[in-house]
Amino acid sequence: MESSTSGMPTPDPKHTDFIHSEEFLAELQRRQFRLSVICAASFLTALLALPALNFFLPELMATRVGGFPFNWLLLGVLFFPLVWVISWVFIQRSIALENQEAESARRHAANEAQR
């Protein structure tokens, strides 16, 4: 690290460790982006399915379940647990992705140490 005129050290732009490499970070970002898109698509599918079901299956959606129309049951009761499930899946998969990438970095570091 070099010192700038303000006395603050400037970071060295070159990283020799794999975990800070562009390759490692790009792969992690790609996998996290893919997971985000899948979760967002799941949410949008559920969100857009409600009006579509009301339009294409009005008899089914008007069926009374526990005294409420089925569409109210879907929107008022079942939609929020669905969002929680999507969130839980996102968090679990995100943690798993990070653990996989950390293991990959450990293996790469071990391979580099053996050289």
Number of domain units in the chain: 1
Domain that holds residue 60: 22-114
In a domain, 6, yes or no: no
Tens digits of residue pLDDT in 58-74 = 999 999 998 999 999 99
Cβ-Cβ contacts under 8 Å for 105 (sequence gap 6 or more): 18, 19, 24
What would the mean pLDDT of 81-107 be, rounded to a whole number?
A: 93
Q: What is the pLDDT of residue 26?
A: 87
Full-model pTM: 0.72
Q: What is the pLDDT of residue 17?
A: 63
Tens digits of residue pLDDT in 3-52 = 556 677 766 556 566 666 788 888 889 999 999 999 999 999 999 999 99
In a domain, 3, yes or no: no
In a domain, 77, yes or no: yes
What would the mean pLDDT of 92-96 be, rounded to a whole number?
A: 95
Cβ-Cβ contacts under 8 Å for 76 (sequence gap 6 or more): 68
CA 57 – CA 70 distance, rounded (Å) = 11
Residue 53 identity (one-letter amino acid): L
What would the mean pLDDT of 66-95 be, rounded to a whole number?
A: 94
User: In whole angstroms, how far apart are CA 6 and each of 2, 3, 9, 10, 14?
Assistant: 11, 8, 8, 10, 22
In a domain, 12, yes or no: no
**Given a cut of 60, is residue 2 above it in pLDDT?**
no
In a domain, 51, yes or no: yes
